[in-house]
Amino acid sequence: MEWENTPLSDNVEDRRGAGGFSGGTGFSGGTGGFGLGAIVIITIIGYFTGIDPRVLLGGAEIVTGGSSQQTQVASPTASGVDDETKTFVRHVLGETEAVWTEVLPAQTGVAYKPATMVLYDGATDSGCGGAQAAMGPFYCPLDKKIYLDLSFFRDMQTRYGGGGDFADAYVIAHEVGHHVQDLIGLLDKADAAKQGGNQTQANAISVRVELMADCLAGVWAAHANEKWKILDSGDVEKAVATAQAIGDDRLQTAARGYAVPDSFTHGTSAMRVKWLTTGLNSGQIDSCNTFQQ
């Protein structure tokens, strides 16, 4: 992926080296805290935390049989170090800002307001409650921020067989996709719809929201490549391989030997690949209406 000559974002808040979260018992919504074992299961099954960490944590309680005391994790990273990975994140976030500032109002009539990316190590506070690295990156609609521990990129390569610059950019663009959904009012509608159904129905709505974020990541990639020629040979294949590796069906089967479709919150491998490539091929937000497919 060619990213060195693309825009740099100033909307990055570096909390690395600042220590863990100040307190609390996990994400807001009454789900309680989680021990390290439960967090590992969250990582395997959730991978991308998505729009509302409470949904994932609630699902994890079903899998693990309840919650336990939350474990804080911290790593000694110097605060504010402008290393290569942080520079990469700033470039990718800058690309999303430039693309969505043009595309969102042109295609929906809604002005784009950038999200802030929070970099942390181990644990930190968020508007949605305590965040931990093992939960993966997520977007919090309450404070309009994306939370990312940079060790996630290393884990994606060493533990899950994914990785590469464009695959990492896809992770960021997916979370920015949730911010776009927030700006157009889709997250509020999805949350309202969840209130009227059971857990299986709520999970089905979460799947549609997540697949749309995959598609919006593809829309970003289409326009970013048009503007800056960011894609190298093999980049799309790596991103598709990553999407395949993080489908609910694959992750659940790897974790416990079988999959439970009613518990899916992000979609199957095939569905994730389909929607990522749909956005990439079309470049149109309208093509990402997963709720009518």
Q: Which residue has the higher pLDDT, 114 or 231?
A: 114
Residue 179 CA neighbour count, 13 Å, CB half: 29
Domain ranges in the chain? 12-292
> How many whole angstroms from its chain centre is CA 130?
16
Average pLDDT on 159-176 reads: 83
Residue 199 CA neighbour count, 13 Å, CB half: 13
Q: Which residues contact 192 (CB under 8 A, 6 or more apart)?
A: none
Q: Which residues contact 221 (CB under 8 A, 6 or more apart)?
A: 166, 169, 170, 173, 230, 231, 239, 279, 280
Q: Which residues contact 140 (CB under 8 A, 6 or more apart)?
A: 53, 126, 127, 128, 146, 147
Residue-wise pLDDT tens digits, 225-281 = 999 999 888 888 877 777 666 555 555 566 666 566 665 567 777 888 899 999 999
Scan for tokens 């969250």, then name that residue: 42
Residue-wise pLDDT tens digits, 61-111 = 222 223 333 333 334 344 444 588 899 999 999 999 999 999 999 999 999
**For residues 169 and 92, is the Cβ–Cβ distance under 8 A?**
yes
Find residue 50's DSSP bridge partners.
138
User: What does 220-274 look like in DSSP terms, one character per residue?
Assistant: HHHHHHHHH--PPTTHHHHHHHHHHHT-HHHHHHHHHSS--GGG-SS--HHHHHH
pTM: 0.78
Q: Give which of 255, 293, 259, 258 is closest to 274, Cα–Cα.
A: 293
